[in-house]
Amino acid sequence: MTANLLDYDLEGLAAFCERLGEKRFRAVQLYRWIHQKGVARFEDMTDLARSLREKLPGVCEVRGLPVLTQQISTDGTIKWLFDVGGGNAVETVFIPEDDRGTLCVSSQAGCAVGCRFCSTGHQGFSRNLGAGEIIAQLWYAEHFLRQRFNTTERVISNVVMMGMGEPLQNYGALVPALRTMLDDHGYGLSRRRLTVSTSGVVPMMDRLSQDCPVALAVSLHAPNDELRDHLVPLNRKYPLAELMAACKRYLPAAPRDFITFEYCMLEGVNDQPEHAQQLVALVRAHGVPCKFNLIPFNPFPDSGLKCSGKAVVKAFAEQLNAAGIVTTVRKTRGDDIDAACGQLAGDVLDRTNAAERMAQRRGQVEQVVVWQPREKT
């Protein structure tokens, strides 16, 4: 099989060109044509030497992902379903706003973490995406959107690794993809505008701080280990004390001086005043500068969960803000096309018996962690 040039960051492409007997500046030219201009045909890369244009088709190609479906929400959100082969497909979402355009990118076909409130986790896990498959989502979306909006200017200003999958469990493909997103010859994103979201893979958080420190969002969702063990099973391996310590270690290298904690609001599970108090105590005890992003739960079939009421979410945010912790409530976007947070599912040939595991855990959560009002004494 010929090499796919989307798999390479600039250093990797330079090494590839060197093996062809070409100098580094040829790699830079190729990189710009592919990522900045969205060109896939070598014959259209007019400033390459003719001999190189004739050589390249025999050894490599620019191979994107086939688009299976495209859906456009009433609020302008766009969701694509990309075919990644073997019966698997992943979803990517563009969220337009007045001051930015954000692309939510997938890193795996499915997810092995299995968070209770996430549709992807209920589908199970098939495989990691390659670096080229991660970048192909941005490559297609950026150049499709330029055509759609009839502009040569960059449309996507922010990328969040918050689609299908746990990015830090696909570290080897993630980092080259991030480097392409950041490279001035590629997409030129700011480190502050490129966010990796993790459920708390502590060793990889440490590695990311050294290899490619970008903005970090941590899927917290619970203020104590007992509850988080059930909502985010990875907590059993990396409990809150270890996770908070890793957050503190990440900050010196981070482009922002705080960690964003994502917190999905689940009715009667993690949304009571006691939970807010415990969150304040948790971050203060560990001295983690942070902000909270409260996410209204977006329902999906068989979740067994409900979204907290608007008044409850508002009161929860006010309680955290009153304690001096900046807290926002995420605006739901694209829910009419199942593109909202936690709803991405795609098509996954599960290899992990996720359906059985989730059914067992639904019963455990209902028995163990659902909050009950205290009786008055």
3-class state of residue 95 by DSSP: strand
Using only the alpha carbons of the chain, give its radius of gyration: 22
- What tokens were used for 157? 């200003």
Angle, CA of 21, 24 and 30, to the nearest 5°: 95
The answer to which of 226-235, 290-299, 324-333, 347-356 has the lowest mean pLDDT is 347-356
Average pLDDT, the chain: 90
User: Which among 22, 91, 133, 262 is annotated as catalytic?
Assistant: 91
Instruction: Give me the pLDDT at residue 331, please.
Output: 81
Tell me the pLDDT band of 124, cut-offs 50, 70 and 90: confident
Q: Are 108 and 129 in contact (CB under 8 A)?
A: yes
**Lowest-pLDDT range of 115-124, 173-182, 241-250, 313-322:** 115-124
> Which three-class secondary structure state does DSSP give residue 19?
helix
Average of per-residue pLDDT across 283-293: 98
Q: Strand pairing partners for 161?
A: 196
User: Is 115 one of the annotated active-site residues of the chain?
Assistant: no
* Mean pLDDT, rounded, for 337-354: 57
Handedness of CA 12, 14, 17, 18 (dihedral sign): negative
Q: Which amino acid is at 325?
A: I
- In whole angstroms, what is the distance from residue 223 CA to residue 206 CA? 22
Residues recorded for the chain: 377
Give the pLDDT band of residue 372 (cuts 50, 70, 90): very low
The domain 67-368: what is its CATH number?
3.20.20.70
Give the pair of three-digit tokens for residue 52: 């190189």
Residue 253 has pLDDT above 80, yes or no: yes
Least confident of 10-14, 98-102, 130-134: 98-102
Lowest mean per-residue pLDDT among 108-117, 164-173, 175-184, 189-198: 108-117
Cα(320)–Cα(128) distance, integer angstroms: 36
> Is the confidence at residue 366, as pLDDT, over 60?
no
Under the banding of pLDDT at 50, 70 and 90, the label for residue 360 is: low
Record the tokens describing residue 301, joined without a space. 């079939």
CA torsion sign, 364 to 332 to 199 to 131? positive
- What architecture is domain 3-61? Orthogonal Bundle (1.10)
Residue 247 annotated to the active site: no
Q: What is the mean pLDDT of residues 40-65?
A: 96
Average pLDDT rounded to a whole number, residues 80-89? 94
Alpha-carbon torsion 164, 349, 178, 139, what sign? negative
CB 298 within 8 A of CB 341: yes
- Sequence-ordered list of residues with C-beta below 8 angstroms from that of 98, at least 6 positions apart, any chain: none
Q: Which residues contact 169 (CB under 8 A, 6 or more apart)?
A: 108, 112, 113, 128, 201, 204
- Domain layout of the chain by residue ranges: 3-61, 67-368
Structure tokens at 64: 């994107």
pLDDT at 289: 97
Amino acid 356: pLDDT: 55
Q: Would you give the distance in Å from CA 224 to the centre of its chain?
A: 24
Tokens at 175, concatenated: 């980092």
Quick check: 358 pLDDT over 70? Answer: no
- CB–CB of 79/318 below 8 Å? no
